[in-house]
Chain A
């Protein structure tokens, strides 16, 4: 399996400003300080070795959209945030309009940042394509139709040419999507959200975003520890710092970076990937939070090491 992150930002898409780009260029030139490069490879090597991630690159700003790639299987996509637009662009380049495809979409919930990409997903407009939209909410179709109604959007849902089907999933009832077994869990969030565990060929990837793990009940926590059990990759809502999450942002529906580490340790997860980044955090802040989370994992570790990473738009993880 491969996991491709098309959108990793929480709540609202963001964009790097001109000032932000200027800062990165400035820091790169400052670091180079008149250095001569023999060729393009030398420039790339310099960028990779001498510049920090937040200086040479960045986390991107599209909202939630993650593709689970399984060889020989139809498309599997988690959420339709603004990152879906870029996935659609790539699909159009790869297949063009003439090769019908099936897209299995798994929706965490119908909040705006998780559905806003659909009107900008070209394959949805092409007759012959199939969109099978899975989720635990009864309101998914209503939400998707509403966002394309007047006066919010000029192209109505009924104008989408693809064959669109809604499939209601029930927690604790495994669902077969081709050769991929999908498990569903209801999560604590305003109006509920749903997490998914994708299993294929002995590997497991869990997509669990927009979930507020308050740690109030050991019974509820243990249910998630069981759902995450021995996962090869856990994509986890790590939007806030711990203090923010349980004080000023309590009941906002999101978790913290260090709660993710603790749950991974208990569940024996191999790779913890922080996701649904707070839109007010810039690239430097997100890099610092990643470094702090790695350090927290080292301090608190009482067994095997856990790989800790932070998702960014364009990241691909091979399982």
Chain B
């Protein structure tokens, strides 16, 4: 799971397929990041551009992460869903669970000027 930080925002980018063979490691890694971000007063953008598909057991991991985040002030939003994943989010009604954005650039605009500036600087590099 690739990680980049932009001021108070952490962009996490998981890769591949999440099904019963990979969901456990996906969940433990995701929850570790959620715990760390909550402790550091940071928010998470889940950049899903690298996820080909996710079955129900992967969606469950996302729901657990969402529930954990709600115990604190942090937020988790989702960006860059591939077309199949966008459909899976709608079929599972997960688009009601997470705020979703077409791109990570759009998602970051919902955070501080410092985060947007850091993101923009990162894009210029």
Contact = CB atoms under 8 A, between A and B. Distances in A.
B106 interface: no
Interface residues of B, number: 21
Given A221-B20, A299-B84, A299-B87, A243 B57 contact: no
A243 B64 CA distance: 11
Interface string A231-273: 0000000000111101100000000101101100010000000
A300 B20 contact: no
Nearest to A265: B55
B56 A258 contact: yes
Interface in A276-319: 292-293, 295-296, 299-300
Interface stretch (B32-40, B42-50, B88-96, B114-122): B88-96
B24 interface: yes
B55 A300 contact: yes
B53 A300 contact: yes
A241 B89 CA distance: 11
A241 B92 contact: yes
Interface residues of A, number: 22
B53 A243 contact: no
Contacts, number: 60
B59 interface: yes
Contacts of A221: 20
Contact of A262 (B20, B63, B94): B20
Contacts of B94: 242-243
B109 interface: no
A201 to B, nearest CB: 32
B59 to A, nearest CB: 6
Nearest to A216: B60
A215 interface: yes
B1 interface: no
B3 interface: no
B20 A242 contact: no
A155 B19 CA distance: 52
Nearest to B92: A242
Main DSSP-derived SS at the A contact region: helix
A215 B94 CA distance: 17
Contacts of A244: 93
Most buried by A among B24, B53, B56, B84: B56
B97 A215 contact: no
A218 interface: yes
A258 B60 contact: no
Interface in A197-251: 214-215, 218, 221, 241-244, 246-247
B97 A296 contact: no
Interface in B67-111: 67, 84, 87-88, 90-94, 96-97
27 contacts: A215-B56, A215-B57, A218-B24, A241-B93, A242-B59, A242-B94, A243-B59, A243-B63, A243-B92, A243-B96, A246-B60, A246-B63, A247-B63, A256-B56, A256-B92, A258-B56, A258-B59, A258-B91, A258-B92, A261-B56, A262-B20, A266-B20, A295-B87, A296-B88, A296-B91, A299-B84, A300-B53
Interface of A: 214-215, 218, 221, 241-244, 246-247, 256, 258-259, 261-262, 266, 292-293, 295-296, 299-300
